[in-house]
Structure 1
Amino acid sequence: MRLAIVGVGKLGLALLTGVTSRGVMPPGEIGLLDANVLRAGDLADQTGARVIGPPDLRHAERILVSVQPRVFPEISDWLAQENAGYISTMAGVSTGTIARRLGTKRVVRVMPNLAATIGHSQTAITCPREAENAGDLDFARQLFGAVGDVYDLPEHLFNAFTGMSASGPAYAAVVAEALADGGVRMGLPRALAHELAAKLLVASGELLQGRVHPGLLKDEVASPGGTTIAGLEVLEAAGVRGAFMRAVVAATRRGADLGKDQE
């Protein structure tokens, strides 16, 4: 078994789908372990992976830990395997904490986001030298490269990455919802407003990638004395820019708190 996935939620399923559909790994080399055995069984039937139990982890070359941080202390005893490497997606939990609980420094820490479910994740990755030397880092890069872009990042920036990128789809969803509500307020049908808002965010992301700074796109759209600058004035008066900055700060600090709970 080349990979055991412990915790097959949305992220685990996205990774499973990504690596198998892109030929990174045959599904028969992947084991699925989840508290919801029926769900794991359904996913195994759909993908060709197989359901395993805690005793089977001794056969795994590497173990992906994709559970909530609060669950980790409860399962760390049977997670610990003498010869396995580990990949963790747990928010806020440092490689040092994981290494101490599992008794190995072969730990790669990653932080993807929900866009992994559509192959467009942004994933931060880091590890101690022991994991790099054992090939665990390259293995994790291959896994998460199958569902998006991978960024090498110092561990002290992981909580900031989490607060911005991993939490970012929720912030973008709030923007889309607010824009759609504004359209409805001015008479657009709800379904159309939702469709326009979603497509607007996708198109804006594409436009932003071709520019050095987001402000350039804003300036291109906002003509003198026009409709856009009138709307931007309202956003500035409402403190929208500062609110998003404070959201990233709050999410970053929460990630740090989650880590402290596991120390």
Structure 2
Amino acid sequence: MKLAFLGLGKMGRSILKGALDRGFLRPEEVGVVGRTPERGQALAAPFGVRALSLQDLAEAERVLLAVQPRDFPQLAPEIPRAGVGFISIMAGVSTAVLARRLDTRRVVRAMPNLAAVIGESSTALTALREAQEAGDLDFARALFATVGDVYEIPEHLFDPFTAMSASAPAYLALVAEALADAGVKMGMPRALALRLAADALAATGELLKGRHPAQVKDEVASPGGTTIHGLHALEARALRAAFYEAVEAATRRGHELGEAE
């Protein structure tokens, strides 16, 4: 068994689907542990992979930890770890905490985001030296490449990465909702307003791949036009400061989660 999933929520399912769809893993090489045997069967069946018990994890080459961070301290002592490498997607749980609780230094820390559902995630990776030497980091890099782009970054940047990138779909969804609501206020039918907001965010994302944000802004904002007046209103409401505070607050919460371990 090349990879076992401990937990299989939305993110875990996205990663498993990407790995299977792109041929990185075959169903017979994968297992899933659920909260109960029945839950494990229900999670495994749609993918044609094995349902496992905690004890079965000893058969795996690597285990992907996809449980809630609050559940990890209780589960960790029950997880077999001899000869097993670990990849964690638990927010706020450092490699030092993983190594201590699992009693192994073969640990990789990863932070994907919701866009893994559509194969467009940005995933941060970091690993202890022993995990790099055992090939665990290479495996994780290839695994997460099946659901998007991968960035190897120093661990001290993980909380800011989580606050900015992993949390970004929620921030931008709020922007889209607010933009649509504003359109409705001006008389736009809601369904059309929501579609236009979604299209605008998607198109802007594509434009930003080849341009600096200021260039996109300047190309749209013509002298004395509608856009520059709208930008003035946003600046008056301190939109930039609101994003600064959001990323700072989320980063601080990431630190707090790590300290709790």
The two structures share one fold, judged by TM-score above 0.5: yes
Residue 60 of structure 1 deviates from its aligned partner by 0.9
Cross-structure match for 1:254: 253
Matching of residues 1-263 of structure 1 within 5 Å = 1-35=1-35, 37-211=37-211, 213-262=212-261
Letter in 2 for 1:205: G
Residue 119 of structure 1 deviates from its aligned partner by 0.2
Letter in 2 for 1:92: G
Distance 1:96 1:89 in 2: 14
Distance 1:20 1:234 in 2: 47
Distance 2:24 2:258 in 1: 31
Distance 1:13 1:41 in 2: 14
Instruction: Show CA shifts across 1:115-164 (max 9, x none).
Output: 00110000000001100000000000111000000001000000000000
SS of structure 1 residue aligned to 2:187: coil
Residue 28 of structure 1 deviates from its aligned partner by 1.2
Equivalent pair of 1:208/1:214 in contact (CA under 8 Å) = yes
Letter in 1 for 2:156: H
My pick for the range that moved more, 75-84 or 171-180, is: 75-84
Extract unaligned runs of 5+ from structure 2: none
Distance 1:38 1:165 in 2: 35
Letter in 2 for 1:30: V
Moved over 4 A (4+): 36-39
Q: Give me the TM-score of the superposition, normalised by structure 2.
A: 0.98
Residue 45 of structure 1 deviates from its aligned partner by 1.9
Equivalent pair of 1:80/1:103 in contact (CA under 8 Å) = no
Structure with more contact order per residue of length (Cα contacts < 8 Å, sep ≥ 6): 1
Residue 37 of structure 1 deviates from its aligned partner by 4.7
Aligned residues: 261
Give the superposed CA RMSD: 1.0
Equivalent pair of 2:55/2:80 in contact (CA under 8 Å) = no
SS of structure 1 residue aligned to 2:25: coil
Extract unaligned runs of 5+ from structure 1: none
Instruction: Show CA shifts across 1:79-112 (max 9, x none).
Output: 2411100000111111011001101000000000
Residue 42 of structure 1 deviates from its aligned partner by 3.1
Q: Give me the TM-score of the superposition, normalised by structure 1.
A: 0.97
